[in-house]
Structure 1
């Protein structure tokens, strides 16, 4: 089992493996909690990757589940040890979307639908600053500066040719016309979107208003895949809390939705021309 990845991804993978082992043993989470003299919520948090786990707990759980392959147990214990390491974003304090940043850092591909604004990985500094400031009027200038720095650092993998990953964005036409910041900021953002979408590992498709009703009307979502997890995670961004879908039955509808969005959107080259035409509107 691969142990590569951010602490967040390691915890998710480890939690999923522990959940699989528990189910294979025929035990419920309540039974496990009772035998180990811990709360059922702790078992649930461990299995969903929301709580760090130490190697000793992994050893105890494997023993309880009847796992006899000691090399396999050792690999899980190593993953538990490595999952305790902190990601780079932790140094910035209580950063919103910290769990997502951890996943994004180690994703091998991201397929995202954005209905209202440019995706964070493709925002210019000026556009990002305007988005953060105008959508979060309650935060201080210092908090806004930290969020901006984190957002720009997140872009390193997307923009660095030595470590690219596959980024595919279906962007609703509304995001091109919504003026964020000033007209100059918007024009710079659109010109940047045109340039960066020409890179081989980045694809941008515009979903025009003429496409009418479509599966993305329910809101933004992203599909992330990892090198050691073919299924991946579906991420739904919400104002007060985020949702991460890991079960195949929960994820599959979003894969179907994305297929339909790609089919309804303009082809990549047509999309770039659409962006250029919109630049002239903002000129």
Structure 2
């Protein structure tokens, strides 16, 4: 599966355009006036909620004083790539727009750091475990919809198992998630054994946050930090039942990076974590 992500290209394009507007000394309202746009449209374009055409980018570059040349052509190429559809578009019948953005970022992230308090992270789930999670969480979905969700989840796992440029994934999971009997005894045993096996990949690190730690820095819930190799800024990601929140300001990302460092220090070492997972799989949970 190709790891090309138009979502990341789109965000990088917007970052470049915002910087060029600022360098040109123009406000959003001024750009909107020159392009015969509403201020609302300009706000949505720079905020990433409204896609722009290649011709719109040409007009903006002209207004910002960027003439034909290497930078001009590179930004137009970026605009073209940002208009393409990612592989996950095939699942648009079951994947909401807010989560499509995340999958697009995940597809091209060079690394992902994640903390999960309630369940095994989706990239590490077995098919049966994922099915049990969806059956419990999406009680109004028909069986066919559940299967589509499971299929999408399995497809996403390519980012850590692909042979070329696999994503570096550091996962911290609460001990409670390992002891929660999701799908029954057989499903949990398979899931725990799968964690042991996949943790052997050189790009995957697993730590368990044990009960003994007590109160900790992530008591308010799960979060993720995505990093990108091609000059993209880090993004902290938080999810709730009907949407998600992306934090990109450096000071916001630093807060979550510091929290993650505290979690890593509090959690069992990777070797001890795998030993605990293997013990739970063998002796029961």
Match of 1:84 in 2: 83
Report the Cα distance in structure 1 between the residues aligned to 2:104 and 2:232, rounded to whole angstroms.
17
Deviation at 1:160, TM superposition (A): 3.1
Match of 1:197 in 2: 199
Structure 1 pair 39–249 and aligned structure 2 pair: CA distance change class (3 A) = farther
In structure 1, runs of 5+ residues without a counterpart are: none
Match of 1:149 in 2: 151
Match of 2:241 in 1: 239
Report the Cα distance in structure 2 between the residues aligned to 1:161 and 1:75, rounded to whole angstroms.
28
Deviation at 1:163, TM superposition (A): 4.3
Match of 1:133 in 2: 135
Matches within 5 A, 1:177-196: 177-196=179-198
Q: Write out per-residue CA displacement over residues 199-222 of structure 1, whole angstroms, 9 at most, x where no aligned residue.
A: 111000001111121111111111
Matches within 5 A, 1:104-123: 104-123=106-125
Deviation at 1:51, TM superposition (A): 2.7
In structure 2, runs of 5+ residues without a counterpart are: none
Match of 1:99 in 2: 101
* Aligned residue pairs, count: 280
TM-score by structure 2 length?
0.93
Point out the more displaced range, 272-281 or 13-22: 272-281
Report the Cα distance in structure 1 between the residues aligned to 2:219 and 2:39, rounded to whole angstroms.
37
Aligned-residue Cα RMSD (Å) equals 1.7
Conserved? CA contact 1:205–1:268, under 8 Å = yes
Structure 1 residue runs of 4+, over 6 Å off? none
Conserved? CA contact 1:12–1:48, under 8 Å = no
Conserved? CA contact 1:187–1:279, under 8 Å = yes
What secondary structure is seen at the aligned counterpart in 2 of 1:242? strand
Q: Write out per-residue CA displacement over residues 54-89 of structure 1, whole angstroms, 9 at most, x where no aligned residue.
A: 221111112222234632122111110111110111
